[in-house]
Amino acid sequence: MTLAKPDEVDEWARLLHAAPELRSRLTELARRQGVELTEWKRRVAPGRRKVQEEIRALEAAASAIWVFAPQVVPGLAQTGAYAAVMFRLGQGQALSPEELAGAVQARLARQAVLGDRAKRLKLLFTESALRRSLLPASAMRDQLQRMVEVARLPNVEMGMVAFSTRERTHIYHGFSIIGDPDVDRAALVLAETVTSSLRVRDPDEVRQYVEHYRRLAEGALFGDELVAFLQEISARSPWS
């Protein structure tokens, strides 16, 4: 499926001599089809666990996944303790112990996708994610060990933009690209603001996010260099 662009819809409506009001309405519908913005409290109204389960279904159907997490450990590499902190610090109403446990369980269940060798997974974060004081030192060391395990998986390319890296492009916000826009018909980008959840489906815009990811990853640490860095940080235990 290829989404019609707003200007294409407008031109089509003009050629068919549609009334100006109809042309405007059709163009707006085409614009909304490519980008969906949902108020965050409405997005999580069914529950955080439900949201994680929906993302898991999208990831399971995709041939490739790109994740850029500028300030946190990517969800597909989080431990249960780290995920719990992420949900507790998140926007919206406080979660009951049962809701929190369900959300954490659902996020960890998403990591089953790491075992699918047919998928290409690229996870990128910045050094800031390792320096934040979110957990006790022992739990953070467990988190870094989990990242080492994920980084060594044959179908996963995990990278870190270090403080010393000369950046090639501006860091705007975190995002996940679920699906290759050149392969997966339902490829989309997921991103979050303080108040809203964003889904981008227009293939050209999804490709722009892929290119942005590639620019962000230039000069990042990968493979053995990344593993050595993670192990060094773990040994130093810089968390308060």
Beta strands per DSSP E along 35-116: 35-39, 64-69
The CA-atom distances, in angstroms, between 139 and each of 56, 100, 105, 227, 232 are 25, 18, 17, 18, 16
Q: Left (φ > 0), alpha (ψ -120 to 50) or beta: where does 122 sit?
A: beta
pLDDT of the residue at 74:
98
Query: How confident is the model over 69-78, as a mean pLDDT?
Result: 97
In this predicted model, what pLDDT tens digit does every residue of 23-68 receive, in sequence order? 676 555 555 555 676 776 777 878 899 999 999 999 999 999 999 9
Tell me the C-alpha distance between 100 and 62, whole Å: 27
| pTM (two decimals) | 0.85
pLDDT of the residue at 1:
43
pLDDT of the residue at 35:
60
| Higher pLDDT, residue 217 or 19 | 217
Long-range contacts of 126-131 (CB under 8 A, 24+ apart): 126/70, 126/71, 126/160, 126/161, 126/162, 126/171, 127/160, 127/161, 127/162, 127/163, 128/70, 128/71, 129/69, 129/70, 129/71, 129/72, 129/73, 130/160, 130/230, 130/233, 131/238, 131/239
Q: Is the pLDDT of residue 236 over 60?
A: yes
pLDDT of the residue at 196:
86
Query: How confident is the model over 208-237, as a mean pLDDT?
Result: 97
Give the architecture-level CATH label for domain 44-236: 2-Layer Sandwich (3.30)
In this predicted model, what pLDDT tens digit does every residue of 163-188 receive, in sequence order? 999 989 999 999 999 999 999 999 99
| Higher pLDDT, residue 25 or 69 | 69
In this predicted model, what pLDDT tens digit does every residue of 154-165 receive, in sequence order? 999 999 999 999
In this predicted model, what pLDDT tens digit does every residue of 4-22 receive, in sequence order? 555 665 666 677 676 777 6
pLDDT of the residue at 25:
63
pLDDT of the residue at 105:
98
pLDDT of the residue at 58:
97
pLDDT of the residue at 195:
86
In this predicted model, what pLDDT tens digit does every residue of 96-151 receive, in sequence order? 999 999 999 999 999 999 999 999 999 999 999 999 999 999 999 999 999 999 99
Ordered by start, the domain boundaries in the chain are 1-35, 44-236
Both tokens of 28, joined, read 């707006």
Which strands, in side-by-side order, build the sheet including 120-126?
Answer: 35-39, 196-200, 188-192, 175-178, 64-69, 120-126, 156-161, 221-222
